Amino acid sequence: MFTGVLDLPWWGYVIHTLIVTHITIASVTIYLHRCQAHRALDLHPLASHFFRFWLWLTTGMVTKTWTAIHRKHHARCETAEDPHSPQILGIRKVLWEGAELYRKEGRNAETLEKYGRGTPDDWVERNLYSHDRLGIGSLLVVNFVLFGFIGITVWAVQMLWIPFFAAGVINGIGHWWGYRNFQPEDASTNIVPWGVLIGGEELHNNHHAYASSARFSIRWYEFDIGWYYILAMRALGLARVKKVAPAIRLATGKTRCDFATLQAVITHRYDVLARYARSLRRTCVEEIRSLEASAVTVDSAMPRRLLHMDAAALPPSDHHALSKSAVLATVFQMRQELTALWQRSSLTKEQLVRQLEDWCARAEASGIAALEEFSRRLRCYA
């Protein structure tokens, strides 16, 4: 049996496979995702071309196609137009058929035209890298020459790596299960704080909160290995970081809202909503227990709905409970008014500052201790 040019022990094939698949993951997250789709960094032509070549060889993905599909995902997230939302299509569909969903959307000329602008369009892209089968076919030949028949197995793993981890796990589980640091208007989650296999992409909720940030990690315990690769490339002159998520800054002792407060609240709006939910959850739970003692029908999931949904999404039973509790009604209504602050684009900044100040004044006069404390902290945003 032909064993190829390199005759490795079994663990040598495993290490080789892990290395080459990791380079592919790094190419996806650094080049396709952070650089091309979101313009969070610029890459030196040498680095950019390496990533293009490697992705052509190991995945057959075309830069314009991947970029367009991902941008559409952000623009139409969790709607019927989202190319791969498990909230719409179901987790099983996206997890196991994510690659097919990608190919289906890749055939949509309107998606490519609308969302694929600004991607490479040179001679090499048009005449070589756009031929996906040529790339992955070349890799099959190379693997066979190097490793013989076991090289075909290595090639098969390489072909399945991105479809499963990127198209399936990140697009599927990353919008279905995990923890959330922020409350963007979608179901994105962070799968785990530490994830070497998928290059930092597991911090998907952080990414949706700050989509144009080149760094995905936010909390001290989160590890974005893709970000460290970018730092190394920047030190070598191969990358230029354009934007990262801004840090939250508090001006302790601030007692009135100003334009800086408004700007900070809008910039960190998803963090503000997440903190609001955490701050008021216990209040909601305790109030619901009081309602249950009064024979009002409620369920254990009601606090989450009140702190995450708008009025149209609440079931009739929640509206009935709100009518029976001034505390729950206040908590819910104040959240709706807070989100409206960054949705009223027709108002002047002076009007928005006055509305924010009025919101804080009413929160601090509500008689709800947790709401008062949240408002006093909100005034300190700077």
Tokens of 186: 């979608």
Distance, in Å, from the CA atom of 359 to the CA atom of 356, rounded to the nearest integer, reads 5
Q: Which pLDDT does position 212 carry in this prediction?
A: 96
What digits encode the pLDDT tens for the residues 55-91?
999 999 999 999 999 999 999 999 999 999 999 999 9
> Which residues on neighbouring strands pair with residue 43, listed in sequence order?
239
Global model pTM greater than 0.75? yes
Q: Which of 16, 27, 82 is nearest to 200 (CA)?
A: 27
Q: What is the mean pLDDT of residues 86-99?
A: 94
Cβ contact 207:191 at 8 Å? no
pLDDT of 196 over the 80 cut: no
Chain mean position to CA 380:
27
- Domain regions of the chain by residue span: 10-241, 259-379
Q: What amino acid is encoded at 162 in this protein?
A: I
